[in-house]
Amino acid sequence: MAFKAFSEYLLLEKNYSQLTLKAYLADLEAFKTFITSEFDINTINNVNYQQIRNWIVCLVESGISNRTINRKISSLNTYYKFLLKTKTITVNPLVKHKALKVSKKVQVPFSETEMKAVIEALNAAKDFEGLRNRLIIELFYATGIRRIELVQLKLTDVDVANKTLKVLGKRNKERYIPLLDSVVKTINIYLVQRNKLEIIVDHSHLFLTKKGVKIYETLVYRIINDYFSKVSTKVKRSPHILRHSFATHLLNQGANLNAVKELLGHSSLAATQVYTHNSIAELKKVYSNTHPRSKK
């Protein structure tokens, strides 16, 4: 297949997931289609920066966000770095490229009141789907895992006895997250209903649809959006906002930034620090309400 050596490099040496690999290859194929159409070139190995700039301009004019364009160019850059490493090329055409400016999006987490309202509403769930949805929301909020990480969870990843969850994160990096007693209790109740399904096609994964197959990402998003639309007026109601809420609420309660970093599976503190602005806002609120000089 096209880009076979590069694919093997990403999988075997960089430990990228199949999902990430698929995104990289899609970006490369899109660029290849562009230069074939515009310049009658059948390989992207020997293009120049101006040709890449033409693609960027085309993407901008089509209305694609700068963030998405930067991601596509990052895929190209990774490919050209690979070609340099294998001595297929001598110069990376993107060596002097500067990423497009991206406005920082402020992610507003759910409040503790909103979280409590949803979880309390789900406490009455007795059927399979209700219990599954309750566990999904409790796991997101109690562990901060990513949507893809939740979808890929297997039964063997849950250690009820030791109250831990094994999560396979980005670049196939494993991490272990402690589980709250309340979450362990919900897991046990859910598993009873899971085992009662008439048909179980997928016996290994933790979360299934009512048809017995592995749950999928769009369904997880829909579950979160549906439940939180009843208690929250926030525009964005997604699994990522639940992850954001997990981190923000921990920091608000004084959790160590490094500890939150490990729980989230971030490779650097910089990635975790984006969650601290809400914590600072909370600290300012407490400070202004309690400091003796604040009323003068």
Active site members: 146, 170, 240, 243, 266, 275
CA distance readout (Å), 119 to 124, 140, 158, 161, 206: 9, 12, 21, 24, 20
124, with CB counted inside 10 A (0-12, 13-18, 19+), is: exposed
